[in-house]
Amino acid sequence: MTFARFALAAFTALAATTCELAPPTSPEHAPASIARAARTRTASDSSAPSSAPPSQGARTLKTHADTAPYLCQPGAYACIAGGPLLASSQAEAHWLIAHGYPSPAEHARLSKLDLAQLQAESQAGNQAATVFYGSKTALSGRFQSGVAILRKAAATGTIYAYYGLSEAYLGDTPQTNPVESAAFLRLAYLLGDRKASAAIAQRGLSGIESVVADERAAVLYQTFAKSRRPSPRPFE
């Protein structure tokens, strides 16, 4: 009996040692049910939807119908000497839309609206209406309020807002300042609108006034526009 108990104890110890030293079961040697479960989890993980946001390229671009009001007739003299609201290509029309410029027809329509109507269209997201609303507010006796509206529009990338600021400083108000008016047009030029130079020429400034306006525009570029990187108007 003593020998039997001793043999049984030795066998038990040997079995325990063997279990401790045994290597873990590799995936290929795992039971079939476990392998199937692992494969199921892997497939499920790979098919899970990605949480990454859609790229900017997925955003819908303006169609030809949207840009058509901005386009001048191909080959016409208007394409060369046209004002800042005309585009000679689809790329230029897209640029105008992106920076808040109205088409010539839209400009004519907005110019006939009163303050309440312009405010409503501005609140609906019409960038050009916001510029008209700001400049008209400034010229109707609330100069600082109008300028604040235009400053906010300019801060969002609406280059056309600088035309509105130019109009505000050119109007018949105590704040009228032709040099400041030209400086805001020059700022639009510095930010990428090459056609703003024609509007500056129409101001009829003297040589000294033009120099002062350019210097003022350089200051405004740093203080007002916060040295924003230019967005060149396409030239084709």
Look over the chain and give the mean of its residue pLDDT values, rounded to a whole number.
80
Q: Is the whole model's pTM more than 0.75, yes or no?
A: no
The Cα–Cα gap between 100 and 105 comes to: 14
DSSP 27: G
**For residue 127, is it left (φ>0), alpha (ψ between -120 and 50) or beta?**
alpha
pLDDT tens digits, residue range 106-123? 999 999 999 999 999 999
- Residue 21 or residue 226, greater confidence: 226
pLDDT value of position 228: 94
What six digits make up the tokens of 33?
């049910």
Domain residue extents for the chain: 61-223
